[in-house]
Structure formats: C-alpha cells, structure tokens
Chain A
Amino acid sequence: MPKLAGAQILWECLVREGVDTVFGYPGGAILPSYDAMLQYPIHHVLVRHEQGASHMADGYARASGRVGVCVGTSGPAATNMVTGLATAMMDSIPVVAITGQVGTKVIGSDAFQETDVTGVTLPVTKHNYLVTHVEDLAETIREAFYIARHGRPGPVLIDIPKDVQLAQTEFEYPTHPIHLPNERLLEKYVPQEYFARAAEMIAAAERPVILAGHGILLSGAMDEVMEFAEKTNTPIALTLLGIGGFPAEHPLCLGMMGMHGGVYVNEAIQNADLLLAMGMRFDDRVTGTLKTYSPHSKKIHFEIDPTEINKNVKVDLPLLGDLKESLTKLNPLVRAKRHDAWWEHLRRAMQADPIRDVLDWESPDGLMSEHVVHDIWTATQGDAIVVTDVGQHQMWEVQYYLHNKPHTLITSGGLGTMGFALPAAIGAKFAQPDKEVWVIAGDGGFQMTMAELATIVQEKIKINVAILNNGYLGMVRQWQEFFYDARYCATPIFSPDFAKVADAYGIPGYVVENRDDVMPILDEVRASPGPAVIEFRVKMEDAVYPMVPAGASLHEMIKREKVPQSV
C-alpha cells in the first residue's frame, strides 16, 4: 500500500467526492496542503478575503446542488470564514470548509495564529472535526461530505493541524458504507395512517394554502409539489428561499409570504383552514407574531428535521422525512379539488393589492429600483441566475423578478448576510458556467465584499453586477423612517464612484440615472463577453411595501400610501 502525506490524502479524498473547484486563500498552517494541491486536478480560486471563500462555496452549492468547498489557513482565515459558515448553516447549504491548524504539539498554547476553530464554529456548523491523527483523515473527510449533504444539509468544518498534513500513512480509500453514531436516531418512521389522515384533512379543507419553503429545492420535489397543487387546486405561497421551487407565473402561485410578502398572500394564510407547510420552518419573518398566526387552520408539516416540529408553531400532523418521498406517498391518496369560492376570493384580493404596485408608474423623482429590477427581468427573460445582497433591493428583486425555474435566485435568507451577493455569484458562476449570472446589490452591502471584483478578473469570468445605489443603508433607513420618526442615524452612506472602481479593476463600469438608459445598457452589458458593473443611481427614499412591522400580526401590513396611478 502506498504511503501518502495527510496533505495528499486530503486532495485524494476531495477528488473522489467529485470536487474540482475550491475557493480559498493560503497561509502558513495550510501550506503543505497547498503544495500537494498542484498534483491534483483541482482548480483553486484565489479569493480576496476568506469570507468570500465561504460565500463562494455556498453560492456554488446553491447553484449546483453539490457540496461547495472552501479552504483557508488557521486563526484569522478561519475566523474570516465564520460569517459564510453561519450563512450556510441558517439556509441549510452543504459546504465543507477545510482549515489548517497549528501543530498538534502546540495546540492550546496560544501559538502563532492559533484559534480554537472547532470551538468558534461549533454553533455555526452542522458538525466539525479536529483531526489529530493522519490515519483518521480519509474517514473524516468522507464523513464530512456525507454529513454536509445528508438529511437536512449544512456546513461541516475540518480543522487539520499542520503536522497531520505532513505525516504519512498508508492510504487506501475507504469504501465501506458510512455509519454515523446517531444515524439510527435520525431514521424517520411515519405511520402509513398519517398519510391517510393527511389526505382526509386535505379532502375536508375549504381554504387550504401550501407554504412552500427551501425544502422543495433541497429535496428536488418540484414535480411532486406541482402534482399535488394541480390535483388539489391549492394556492401556493413561497418563502424567500422557496422561490424557484414553484413557477412564479403559474396560476396557482400566490408569490412570497411574510414581512414583505403580498397582502393577499398573508391574508390567505391568516384565513386558511388548512396550511400545508412543505420544507419550511415557520421563521419569524414569515409568521409575524405567533399569537395571532393563522388561527383557524389545521397544520400539516412536511419536514425532514424533527427539531423543527412544534418549534415555533404547533402543528396538527407532522410528516417527517424527505418531501419528495412524502409527497410520492401522499399524492395518490388525495382527491381532485377545485376550491372555486376560495379562488374567487383570492383573485379579488390579488387585484385589490397587486404586489408590483409601481410597475406602471412613471416616477416623477428619479429612477426606481423596482423598475431597474423589472427591466433586468425583462432583458434576461427571467432566465438568469440572480444573486442578491441583503436589504431593500433584495425584496424588490423578489417582487419584480419572477423566477419560474429552480435555483435561479440565490440569496441569504436566514442570516441576512450583507456582502453575500458578489462572492456567492462567483461561486454560482463556477457551478453553472453557461448561465448568465447577475448580482443585484445595494451600495452598502456591495462595499462589504467588493474586493472580490479582483477575483472575477483573475478568474476571467463574466458576472454582471447591478448596484442599486440609493445613498442609504436603505432597509435600515426604512425602519428608521417607519419606527424611529425618520431619525436617520448612521444610514446615509458615502460610496465611491463604482464605475471608476470597476475601471480600476479593468472591468467596464457604467452609471445609469434615467429609466430610458436602463435597457440599452443592459443589452450592451449582456452582449459583451466580459464582466460589467452598473451603478444605478436610484430614488433615495423609496420604501419596500407592503410590510408587516416586526412583532405585528401577519395581516397587519403597512401599505404604500399613495398607490400610484398607472399612466
């Protein structure tokens, strides 16, 4: 049997997991692994900040469904990755992070660049490992990938001390099946009668609503959800991360629920007599206050993670397990329904409060973010992968860019991580090189990670960046406007001339101030083979409507005061 160093074993295992691209940054404690990398068919994307590496691995995973990998050295590199790991953890994204660690002999001695990385990342990873013996390395890496993608996915970190990377051992790739200590505890057993009971509840319902979450995409249950919805003619409300799991333009699709969801979507949920929660976790952003949440409904919860059952909302029937499997069992048991009266009511409500309320508005005071997003949607025919940052522009993206296909919206939901968009888009582009990839970011968030523009250039990839510059940390400004008497503390934000910044990186930069210029620039940018940065100078004090104030009931929404007239 050949002897290999830990550093080689690392890449042997990664290659066998199907990894061909990693996002990382070198340093002392990971040097042996970087040296060994040269012998393997691995493309290393050099980032500008390790936060970028973890977001890129995340974006790669979201766009491909495969595990994304990021690599960094000990100490500061690992701590830089924490935000990306926490982002992936909250959104159930399969990521494996590899970090170098100081030698096993000096662990615990505050050695140079030593951080207790497994300690720091414990609450923001699904699991993590400190590998102290090279003999354990291969098995650990296999387990890490298994855990990252198995069940409810999530990030896993492997901390490898430098001496373990250097130590040699006989290497044979393990092929035996993986058995985790807790695997038996995670087996899901759902009595057959639960499905029968679900079918009865569905048959009895007059005002059902499907609440579709990220689980649809993670489970790949798009067809099964479609079959169920069409057969039972049930309206579908989506969570932010559920977007793309069901076509936005399908007649059964209501659109997004929650804090900035449609008025009629939230009202439908509040008035429903049956909620079918599919792969969603009743996050506070979609429920409003729990005291008044959907008070008249029975609730069926399709969920892979038992810790989500009855966590926030008490449910009447939990159907544990993979959504695709559960619906495969349930669909044959349900009978066709029409729900004419319910639909009649919903259609009227939809017309009363359309979510795209300024669609036809000719803005008197400057370019509107809503229109820019709408034009990007039109130009790309809704077919691009759009990666958003966090803030008002993120919500406008959801309202004005209709996603009909899975995995075409990539956004940080659970953690709401500003600075996510640009690096996540780079990851997405590596996962889907043939897809058109757009970043839609705010002036604030873009400045958090814009150093990754250099990564785009070095990697020669094409990403189109739209910055919606409103001169504010807009979403926070909106809260100050609504809830703090418009005292704008620390929300006006200076930005550089983004076109010049782009130019400094060798990327064509554009500034757009008028609606008439939007389409021509979009066309130009899309036609060009290289990346581009467009700064849209948009209306400064626009707000995202409608809105459920934090802590209010889901149906108590703030609406736009002067609903603009169409012209």
Chain B
Amino acid sequence: MKHTLVALVQDKPGVLNRVASLFRRRAFNIESLTVGHTDQPHVSRMTIVIDSDNTSAQLVEANLAKLVNVIDIQDVTQQETISRDLALIKVRVDAAGRAEIAQLAEIFRAKIVDVANDSVVVEATGDEDKIDGLVELLRPKGILEMVRTGRIAMVRGNQARKNTNGHYNGNGNGNGHVARDVGVSSV
C-alpha cells in the first residue's frame, strides 16, 4: 500500500542530505520524494511516498522524527488529501497528428506547451493515476522524453500543516498535532 508522508524541515544546507542518507542507511525504499518552499521562510516541505509492502511507514516516520532538522512529520495516508503530480511529456508527432494529441490532452485537462516540427510537449497535472492514464495513451505515439515531479500532497480543509510563526517555537502549537503514539498491535 502507498503511504504519503508530509514533512516540514528546516531549510538549511545539508538537510536534504540527512534525509537521503537516512533512507539509504536504513535501506528504506522510497517511491518519490519532492522538496519545495512553503509559505514560511526557512521551512521546506517534503512529500515522501513509500510502498509499505516493503518499507514500514511507521519506521520511516519515526526515523524522520529523530532528525533534529525535521519540524513536523505526518503520515497523511488516512486523511483526505489533495495530491498532485506534474508531468512534462514530449511526444513524437508530425503536423498531421497534432490534433489528435491536442484532443487527448484536452480530455485530461492537459496543455500543449511547446510545438516543434516533429514533436509537442504536453503538460499535465493531476493525481498519479490520471497522469499514468495519459502516459499510457501517449506511449504508442512515441514518447521522446518525460519528466514527472512526483507526488505533492495537502490535507483538505482547515487543518494546517505548519507552525504558526514560521520559526519553531517549541510550544507545540500550530497544528493541533498530538504527541506521537506508535500504536499497539494485537494484545
């Protein structure tokens, strides 16, 4: 089963290295990892997707929580989330075939963002299944090149996954996050 973890980390040199090094050292298998800015200065946000069939989500979460530079970490798999993947797909197509590609793109609410003599670049945004669907349809046409960002995710509603003042204040306010409990298996 796919798990999505969202982490807020200090935006400092070496932090990404610490996260990557942890995954390597513990032999955690990561499906995707995205990093980007947040609304808060000095805080980056990571979305980490793992397949819990081969890597325990609970252990990944607990290990990340031990990294000093990690401000928050939560497994949002069980929550209602919006998740998005962005893809740029370069497809081989001559002038005659363009219309068909444009039509396909339209169905997927994707855009054609570049047109050349013998190719177009399609930009698509959506959850991964949708992108996968588009990719499968385009593949027979001849995909020349593709890049995908990997999943980014956000919980719906007004539960904000951030700390209020942009600098960790140690008071534990900001997101109603209760202290962690690793849970009980069968007793």
Q: Chain B residues near A310 (CB, 8 Å)?
A: 56, 58-59, 182, 185
* B180 A182 Cβ-Cβ under 8 A: no
Of residues 166 through 187 on chain B, the ones whose CB sits less than 8 Å from some CB of chain A are 168-170, 172, 177-187
CB distance from B48 to the nearest CB of A (A): 15
In the complex, whether A459 has a CB less than 8 A from a CB of chain B is no
Which residue of B is nearest A177, CB measured?
B170
CA of A183 to CA of B56, assembled, Å: 22
CB distance from B89 to the nearest CB of A (A): 36
Of residues 152 through 200 on chain A, the ones whose CB sits less than 8 Å from some CB of chain B are 177, 179-191, 194, 197
Q: Chain B residues near A500 (CB, 8 Å)?
A: none
Q: Chain B residues near A315 (CB, 8 Å)?
A: 185
* B62 A188 Cβ-Cβ under 8 A: no
Q: A185-B65, A185-B73 are in contact. Are A309 and B182 (CB under 8 A)?
A: yes
Interface range on chain A (Cβ under 8 Å from partner):
35 or more
* B59 A317 Cβ-Cβ under 8 A: no
CB distance from B27 to the nearest CB of A (A): 12
* A181 B168 Cβ-Cβ under 8 A: yes
Q: Chain B residues near A147 (CB, 8 Å)?
A: 68
8 Å CB contact of B17 from A122, A181, A182, A188:
A122
Which residue of B is nearest A147, CB measured?
B68
CA of A197 to CA of B181, assembled, Å: 15
In the complex, whether A201 has a CB less than 8 A from a CB of chain B is yes
Q: Chain A residues near B182 (CB, 8 Å)?
A: 306, 309-310, 318, 320
A185, A188, A190, A314 — which one has the most chain B CB atoms within 10 A of its CB? A185
In the complex, whether B153 has a CB less than 8 A from a CB of chain A is no
CA of A194 to CA of B185, assembled, Å: 12
CB distance from B155 to the nearest CB of A (A): 17
* B25 A123 Cβ-Cβ under 8 A: yes
* A188 B180 Cβ-Cβ under 8 A: yes
In the complex, whether A231 has a CB less than 8 A from a CB of chain B is no
Q: Chain A residues near B123 (CB, 8 Å)?
A: none
In the complex, whether A118 has a CB less than 8 A from a CB of chain B is yes
Of residues 29 through 87 on chain B, the ones whose CB sits less than 8 Å from some CB of chain A are 56, 58-59, 62-63, 65-73
* B21 A123 Cβ-Cβ under 8 A: yes
Q: Chain A residues near B67 (CB, 8 Å)?
A: 182
CA of A33 to CA of B103, assembled, Å: 70
8 Å CB contact of B68 from A180, A305, A316:
A180
* A306 B62 Cβ-Cβ under 8 A: yes
* B69 A186 Cβ-Cβ under 8 A: no
CB distance from B175 to the nearest CB of A (A): 10
* A182 B186 Cβ-Cβ under 8 A: no
In the complex, whether B140 has a CB less than 8 A from a CB of chain A is no
A127, A147, A177 — which one has the most chain B CB atoms within 10 A of its CB? A127
* Mask of A141-157 contacts with B, CB within 8 angstroms, 1/0: 00000010000000000
* A201 B187 Cβ-Cβ under 8 A: yes
Which residue of B is nearest A186, CB measured?
B65
* B185 A182 Cβ-Cβ under 8 A: no
Q: Chain A residues near B178 (CB, 8 Å)?
A: 189
CB distance from B83 to the nearest CB of A (A): 23
8 Å CB contact of A182 from B25, B66, B183:
B66
In the complex, whether A298 has a CB less than 8 A from a CB of chain B is yes
8 Å CB contact of A307 from B14, B63, B68, B73:
B63
* B71 A307 Cβ-Cβ under 8 A: no
In the complex, whether B18 has a CB less than 8 A from a CB of chain A is yes
8 Å CB contact of A187 from B58, B72, B180:
B180
CA of A79 to CA of B65, assembled, Å: 28
In the complex, whether A311 has a CB less than 8 A from a CB of chain B is yes
In the complex, whether B4 has a CB less than 8 A from a CB of chain A is no
CB distance from A26 to the nearest CB of B (A): 27
* B62 A307 Cβ-Cβ under 8 A: yes
Q: A189-B180, A298-B187, A310-B58 are in contact. Are A181 and B18 (CB under 8 A)?
A: no
CA of A182 to CA of B25, assembled, Å: 20
CA of A179 to CA of B184, assembled, Å: 29
Which residue of B is nearest A307, CB measured?
B62
CA of A264 to CA of B17, assembled, Å: 46
Q: Chain B residues near A186 (CB, 8 Å)?
A: 65-66
Q: A183-B170, A184-B177, A309-B182 are in contact. Are A197 and B68 (CB under 8 A)?
A: no
Which residue of A is nearest B10, CB measured?
A181
Q: Chain A residues near B181 (CB, 8 Å)?
A: 189-191, 320
B21, B69, B182 — which one has the most chain A CB atoms within 10 A of its CB? B182
* A185 B59 Cβ-Cβ under 8 A: no
* B187 A197 Cβ-Cβ under 8 A: yes
* Mask of A190-217 contacts with B, CB within 8 angstroms, 1/0: 1100100100010000000000000000
Q: A122-B18, A189-B178, A315-B185 are in contact. Are A181 and B68 (CB under 8 A)?
A: yes
Of residues 88 through 111 on chain A, the ones whose CB sits less than 8 Å from some CB of chain B are none
B10, B67, B186, B187 — which one has the most chain A CB atoms within 10 A of its CB? B187
CB distance from A275 to the nearest CB of B (A): 14
8 Å CB contact of A184 from B14, B59, B172:
B172
CA of A121 to CA of B18, assembled, Å: 11
CA of A298 to CA of B186, assembled, Å: 9
* B65 A314 Cβ-Cβ under 8 A: no
Ordered by A's residue number, 18 sampled pairs between the chains whose C-beta atoms are within 8 Å are A122-B21, A147-B68, A179-B168, A179-B169, A179-B170, A181-B10, A181-B168, A182-B65, A184-B177, A187-B179, A188-B179, A189-B178, A189-B179, A306-B62, A307-B59, A307-B62, A309-B62, A310-B59
Q: With A127-B68, A182-B71 given, name 11 new contacts (CB 8 A).
A: A118-B14, A177-B170, A182-B66, A182-B67, A182-B68, A298-B187, A307-B62, A309-B62, A309-B182, A310-B182, A316-B186
